[in-house]
Structure 1
Amino acid sequence: MKFLDQAKVYIRSGDGGAGAVSFRREKFIEFGGPDGGDGGRGGDVWVEAVDGLNTLIDYRYQQHFKAKTGVHGMGRNRTGAKGADVTLKVPAGTQVYEEDNETLICDLTEVGQRFRLAAGGNGGFGNQHFKTSTNQAPRRANPGLPGEELTIWLRLKLIADSGIVGLPNAGKSTFLAAVSAAKPKIADYPFTTLHPGLGVARIDGREFVIADIPGLIEGAHEGAGIGDRFLGHVERTRVLLHLVSAQEENPGKAYKTIRGELDAYGHGLKEKAEIVALSQVDTLDADQRKKKTAALKRAAGRAPLLLSAVSGEGVEAVLRALMAEIERAREETVLEKARD
């Protein structure tokens, strides 16, 4: 299944049904009077976060959604039925924007959240509403009100506890494949992943969701490469795992390059907790390992963890460090909600 994190969609709620013009006609009832029923309300358009989705790929193949028109009113004071609603089912973490792609309409962060994007038009009054002392047999009824139509943008920001960042070929996909059931593309030649990967990591009987964020290079915030398009997916994470490849000639420079892109992007990434790890250390001898670890420590201001997803060295230590930060962040969230 392909990954799609943004989609443009046209929606229209249903028109209201028309009111009816009708008169009571029964034997032995000489002046029955008007009995035209009201039209039904048009269907609404909703968006709902559901379980089991992690992409907006469905909206690549269908971009137009229209709710049903309300049923017209009928005689004997029968009101028409409401038109059928339309529900756009999206993954948790989806934001809905207006056509300008800047004005936020709603942010669905939890499964089960719903929001009405367009209300159906009201049904028209039947002629029973227009009876007066001077007009006992009105022959008029209201048409239903038209529904609302608008173009919206759906933008997905993955809900993950931890996000992996780093330059291309830092070993992000290899690490994700080693600690979860995810199967990202991995090869022994240089390339960059084009779509975020998502997996569930387990350590000491506990689980957390981890996301691989691809495509960051120097100048990404200015549009270089595929730019910072996918950085939105780490906005919701609790901790960042910053991988620096041991094959970099200058690990400190590589670290500062990615930190510069994160800081330039903003949106709270600068303040997020960060675990720094020197990856692919199985390719180094003892002297090289010591030298590059020291260089990365000077740049990051802390001692990095040593990691090799291929040999398994340091994997559990990295997972435990991530889990500790995630649990601390979760506790802070619980305390904040308690204070509110």
Structure 2
Amino acid sequence: MEEQDCFSGDSCPGSGIGHGTVPANNSSPSPPGYLISISLGFKLIMTLLIWLMAGWVFTTIKTTRRLHKPHNIFVVNLMISTMVLSLPSTILSSIMMIGHITAVGDFISCNVYFFLLFPSLEIYFSYFMTSLDKLIVIMYPFKHREIMTPRVVKYAITASWFLSVALFINKLFIDSSGYRKVAVFGSCIPLGSTNTEIMLTHTIPIFVASILTIAVDAYLSYIGYQVSKQIQREARLSGTSCEVAALQRRHAAIKRNLKPMMTLLVVVLGSTIFGVLVPLLYVPVHVLEYPTSYLYILESTVVPNMGYIVLLMAPIVYGLYYKQVREPMIMMLKTIIPNCKFRSAVVAPLPQRSS
């Protein structure tokens, strides 16, 4: 039998969001009603920022021919994944929350809600594919173009999307009693065996992809640093200018590939840190015996909203930290701002001369 949810608007003793509720198994009051507006506003603002930053990075790479490389194509795929994940989640959550506020109800199924989270896997698959690309660049610099052809990149991205959907397709067929809908906060909470199944098809693949990405990036950073020191040492000892020039070109090529690797490492480590923080938030529930309302707030609004911070991290890091993308982005902004000023000057009326 599905657990009763006093926060979903069902009839419970002492219900009334604006005045606080009293869960059946705990005397502590539930959060006040203004948290609904704060949570909804946060989702809408974060989604807007994600689409603004990710769309900006996407447009910059697409319109800049020198950025049309396998690594940046995977970055574009990453931006698309964050956009595709954020918008449906916000729309479904908003429908549930507005339906609860207006007492109209909603038609959102938790099965659909969880299935549409499949781009979260694609995000981490994009991390791993980007790392593999840089692994090939450093380990096989002269064969990289032959290995990472446009067709291979296209097939790799297509296969990763199909795999993400395949791992989540079963969410559509789980019995509805496996979820608890918390309409007041626009979220769904998996229960019992459903929670275990989600861990197998969602948490574990993300964890494995994160560990592999960090391991590859750390290894390549170490190899790149060692090669860099060796080249500098040989350059000082070498006598001919041709050998020195060749070593310097190789050194410059390695440095160019280290920067994208460090950018990806910052994104993955940041996402992993947030993933580690989430379990820590449950410590007060078990150790300090916090009231049931704390657990409800944590599961239904804090943890889902933290996901938006993780999604925004990649567009911000690639837009502000990654120099190859940041500089064209700034140039694009400079071309837009003067045009806006020019149009404003044309529309503005001329001052009247005094007679």
TM-score when scaled to structure 2?
Answer: 0.24
Q: Which has the higher helix share?
A: 2
Q: Which has the higher strand share?
A: 1
TM-score when scaled to structure 1?
Answer: 0.25
Pick 1 or 2: higher relative contact order, CA cutoff 8 A, min separation 6. Answer: 2
Larger Rg: 1
